[in-house]
Amino acid sequence: MIYYDTTKMGAAKHRSGLMRLSSRIREELGSLVTEVAWDGGAKAFGLGKGERVPFASGDWLFSVEQFSEAERPGFRAFLANPPCRLAAMFHDAIPVRWPHITWPQSVQRHPEYMKMLAAFERTWAISDATRRDFTEFWRWQGVTPKSAPAVIELGADFDRGNRVQRDPLLPRGRPALLCVGIVEPRKNQTFLFDVAEELWRGGLDFELHVVGRVNPHFGPPIVARMKALQRREPRFQFHAAAGDRELARLYAGASAVVFPTIAEGCGLPLLEALWRGVPCVCSDLPVLRENADAGGCLIAAVNDAADWRAKLRTVLTDRDVALRLQREAMARPLPRWADTARTLSAGLRTD
DSSP annotation of 329 reads H
Q: List 4's β-bridge partners, or say none.
A: 35, 62
Instruction: Determine which of 127-131, 172-176, 313-317 has the lowest per-residue pLDDT on average.
Output: 172-176
* pLDDT, mean of residues 156-167: 77
The answer to whether residue 18 scores a pLDDT higher than 90 is no
d(CA 237, CA 61): 43
DSSP annotation of 187 reads G
Domain with CATH 3.40.50.2000 in the chain: 2-155+337-347, 176-331
Per-residue pLDDT band for 10 (boundaries 50, 70, 90) equals low
Q: Are strands 51-52 and 256-259 parallel, antiparallel or unpaired?
A: unpaired
* pLDDT, mean of residues 211-223: 94
Per-residue pLDDT band for 41 (boundaries 50, 70, 90) equals very high
Sorted by sequence, the CB contacts under 8 Å of residue 121 that are 6+ apart come out as 85, 86, 87, 146, 147
Nearest to 265 by CA among 138, 114, 139, 143: 114
Burial 2-11 (b: 16+ CB within 10 A, else e): bbbbbbbbee
**Among the ranges 19-23, 47-51, 134-138, which has the highest mean pLDDT value?**
134-138
Nearest to 145 by CA among 180, 119, 106, 182: 119
d(CA 339, CA 351): 21
The answer to whether 78 and 44 have CB atoms below 8 angstroms apart is: yes
Backbone φ and ψ for 90, nearest 5 degrees, come out as -120, 160
* pLDDT, mean of residues 293-322: 97
The answer to whether residue 161 scores a pLDDT higher than 80 is no
Per-residue pLDDT band for 245 (boundaries 50, 70, 90) equals confident
Question: Is the peptide bond prior to 149 cis by the omega test (within 30 degrees of 0)?
Answer: no
CA distances (Å), 124 to each of 153, 317, 340, in order?
A: 9, 41, 11
DSSP annotation of 102 reads S
Mean model confidence pLDDT for the chain:
92
| Cα torsion 120, 337, 68, 42: sign | negative
Looking at residue 49, its pLDDT comes to: 82
Sorted by sequence, the CB contacts under 8 Å of residue 80 that are 6+ apart come out as 119
The answer to whether residue 170 scores a pLDDT higher than 90 is no
Burial of 202 (0-12, 13-18, 19+ CB in 10 A): exposed
For the chain, how far is it from start to end, CA to CA, in angstroms?
9
Looking at residue 248, its pLDDT comes to: 86
Rounded-to-5 percentages of helix, strand, coil across the chain: 45, 20, 40
Looking at residue 114, its pLDDT comes to: 97
Tally of helices (H runs) and strands (E runs) in the chain: 13, 14
Q: What is the largest CA-CA distance in the chain?
A: 67
d(CA 300, CA 288): 11
Q: What percent of the chain has pLDDT over 70?
A: 96
Looking at residue 158, its pLDDT comes to: 78
The answer to whether residue 327 scores a pLDDT higher than 60 is yes
Superfamily of domain 2-155+337-347: Glycogen Phosphorylase B; (3.40.50.2000)
Per-residue pLDDT band for 241 (boundaries 50, 70, 90) equals confident
* pLDDT, mean of residues 107-123: 96
Between 241 and 67, name the one with better pLDDT: 67
Sorted by sequence, the CB contacts under 8 Å of residue 218 that are 6+ apart come out as 101, 103, 184, 185
Per-residue pLDDT band for 351 (boundaries 50, 70, 90) equals low
Q: Which CATH class is domain 176-331?
A: alpha beta
Per-residue pLDDT band for 171 (boundaries 50, 70, 90) equals low
